[in-house]
Amino acid sequence: MTQLQDDKELPHLSSDQLSPDQLSAYYSGKRLLRNEIHIQEVYFQWLLSKQYFIPVPAIKRKLFHYTCQRCGNSRRSLFGDIPCASCGETHVYCRKCIMMGRVLACDFLYYWNGPVIERTLLQYEPCTWEGTLTSTQEKAANRIVKAIQLQEKELLIWAVCGSGKTEMLFAGISEGLKKGLRVCIATPRTDVVQELKPRIQQAFSSIPIEALYGGSNDTEAKAQLIISTTHQLLRFQEAFDIMIIDEIDAFPFHSDPSLLFAVQRSRKLKSTSIYLTATPRKQHQMQILLKQLPHFFVPVRYHGHPLPVPYMKMSISLKKDVQNNHPPASFVSWLKKRKNPNRQLLIFVPTISLVESLLASVTKLLLQEQMIKNKFEIASVYANDGARVEKVQAFRDKKLVAIMTTTILERGVTFPSVDVAIFDAGHDVFDEAALVQIAGRAGRSAEDPKGEVVFFHDGKTEAMIKAVEMIKEMNKRIADF
């Protein structure tokens, strides 16, 4: 990097070049690589010399210990060595965050140090949602507004599947926008971001909203209201006044510390974080118990009916059946006497390979039982399935009668009227939270609040027992609420 004189004149700018004040809209609250900053080199050098941008070495080195200054990675095995054509030296690069553009040891990250963007206070109500909240939802919404008004640091909303948590957020988002605060809704999954964007946009029709995920078209990331995957937060630094984290229990925080790092760095030092979850992890439950984490409990679904309680069906030959590419024997008998045969069917299996190996025989069975008219009325869905979004939509549109899937559909998807079956519910992938979430797919609409949930197993596990206990516990709390 060339050093410039401090008294250097502002270079002549082409007409499309923005002034520092205008640039602040794009770059304040960001931490970016040079190739993510779309400014001509001469002008960029001038901005650097005037300290509008502050450079930070992209990878910090302490003896033989490296830390990536974008994603926080410090595991040696996640740094590679590269003979770098850009600087001619062999040095490390971060393999951890490489999907967002490679961070080289000879690179710098830049954060904005120029004028702070002044957001105008809104004189009108930005929320254009016309629905009404249930009294429970309203209590939760008020609690969130209060947290924002009092600038509380953290608040966890423990709301059961189907309680309508998105709607509970609207008042809080409104409050933030009116005050000129910057709001982020973060979730670990790209498809959830994609699903949330139109819903939030509809509720705030005049407010510019950007949805950030790998491959999204919104790349300026300058909107006051941002919906983002956690990974994309790695490009921010002290940007958000209000950080709403959806499905906080789904964050693989334990296996991927960079997500926590991203969340923490992207929010302002003085900010309010709202966590949403239907199935809090142990650590959060403990903090709640110890009163270290303020929380609000929403045990009631928006339609007021209790959660369907799963029942367990033992199938001793389950492993053998499945190995021979057959569904569990007890599934066949259950299928014949479902309470409401008009419901669609969601079948969860533990692995992708089982989805594939069981699809043919389940299709045959459903044809035999005349549940489906042809093999095109059932489909399999799993992670990395290119047609996942289309298949889920086809199921919603009732073009599909049944779907076989892995835990990938355990949360974030809503279908009005389904029965849910889990094959081999005792498998390790179905932990307590996963089972509660999967059970939460049933009974989502007021028209059909009573879907069946069946765990097919060959031996009860603690996770299964605890999941059922938790659901019953929630239902009991409705009465106390």
Partner 1 sequence: MHCLWCENEVEFSLTWKSLLIPSREKVLCSSCRGKLELLQGERCNMCSRVSMEKLCSDCKRWQSLTHPSSLQWNYSIYKYNYFMKELVAKWKYRGDYTLGVSFQSIFQEHFKVHFNHLRKSAIAVPIPLSHERLKERGFNQAQMLTEFLPIESCSPLERLHGEKQSKKTKKERITGGNPFKLKETIKKQVILVDDIYTTGATLHQAARLLIDSGCPAVYSYTLIRG
Residues that bind Zn ion (CB under 5 A): 68, 70-71, 73, 84, 86-87, 94, 96-97, 104, 106
Q: Least separation, in Å, of the C-beta of 110 and Zn ion?
A: 15
| 102 near partner 1, rule: CB under 8 A | yes
| 215 near partner 1, rule: CB under 8 A | no
Q: Least separation, in Å, of the C-beta of 104 and partner 1?
A: 7
User: Which listed option, partner 1, Zn ion, none, makes contact with residue 68 (CB within 5 to 8 Å by class)?
Assistant: Zn ion
| 98 near partner 1, rule: CB under 8 A | yes
Please, which residue, 71 or 293, has the CB nearer to Zn ion?
71
Please, which residue, 84 or 332, has the CB nearer to Zn ion?
84
Q: Interacting stretch for partner 1, rule CB under 8 A, among 83-91, 221-229, 339-347, 467-475?
A: 83-91
* Total site size for partner 1, rule CB under 8 A: 14
| 63 near partner 1, rule: CB under 8 A | no
Contact 156, 168 (CB under 8 A): no
C-alpha dihedral sign at 454, 455, 456, 460: negative
Q: Least separation, in Å, of the C-beta of 191 and partner 1?
A: 19
Q: Least separation, in Å, of the C-beta of 23 and partner 1?
A: 25
Contact 204, 126 (CB under 8 A): yes
| 86 near partner 1, rule: CB under 8 A | yes
Helix, strand and coil content of the chain, in percent to the nearest 5, comes to 35, 20, 45
How many residues in the chain? 481
User: Which listed option, partner 1, Zn ion, none, makes contact with residue 81 (CB within 5 to 8 Å by class)?
Assistant: partner 1
| 179 near partner 1, rule: CB under 8 A | no
Q: Burial level of 291, CB count in 10 A (0-12/13-18/19+)?
A: exposed
Closest CA to 295 of 156, 148, 161, 186: 156
Q: Interacting stretch for partner 1, rule CB under 8 A, among 56-64, 92-100, 206-214, 360-368?
A: 92-100
Stated as kind and residue range, the H or E segment containing 42 is: helix 41-49
Residue whose entry in the numeric block shows the structure tokens 């990536």: 68
Please, which residue, 84 or 312, has the CB nearer to partner 1?
84
Q: Least separation, in Å, of the C-beta of 1 and Zn ion?
A: 12
Please report, in angstroms and rounded to a whole number, the separation of the first and last CA atoms in the chain: 63
SS3 of residue 166 by DSSP: helix
Q: How many Cα neighbours within 13 Å face the side chain of 454?
A: 23
Please, which residue, 86 or 123, has the CB nearer to partner 1?
86
Please, which residue, 87 or 465, has the CB nearer to partner 1?
87
Angle between helices 165-178 and 135-149 (to 10 degrees): 30
Contacting residue, 18, 54, 84, 352, with partner 1 by CB under 8 A:
84
Q: Least separation, in Å, of the C-beta of 101 and partner 1?
A: 8
Q: How many Å apart are CA 29 and CA 117, to the nearest integer? A: 10
Q: How far is CA 231 from CA 239, 251, 366, in A?
A: 15, 11, 41
Q: How many Cα neighbours within 13 Å face the side chain of 169?
A: 29
Please, which residue, 82 or 288, has the CB nearer to partner 1?
82
Closest CA to 60 of 110, 1, 107, 112: 107
Q: Least separation, in Å, of the C-beta of 378 and partner 1?
A: 24
User: Which listed option, Zn ion, partner 1, none, makes contact with residue 97 (CB within 5 to 8 Å by class)?
Assistant: Zn ion
Contacting residue, 1, 63, 99, 269, with partner 1 by CB under 8 A:
99
Q: Interacting stretch for partner 1, rule CB under 8 A, among 61-69, 73-81, 452-460, 472-480?
A: 73-81
Q: How many Å apart are CA 279 and CA 467, to the nearest integer? A: 10
Query: Per-residue string for binding with partner 1, 19-58, x by CB under 8 A?
Result: ----------------------------------------
Please, which residue, 86 or 374, has the CB nearer to Zn ion?
86
Please, which residue, 104 or 436, has the CB nearer to partner 1?
104
Q: Which amino acid is present at 50?
A: K
Q: How many Å apart are CA 126 and CA 227, to the nearest integer? A: 17
**At residue 356, what are phi and psi to the nearest 5 degrees?**
-70, -45
What residue ranges bind partner 1 (CB under 8 A)? 77, 80-86, 93, 95, 98-99, 102, 104
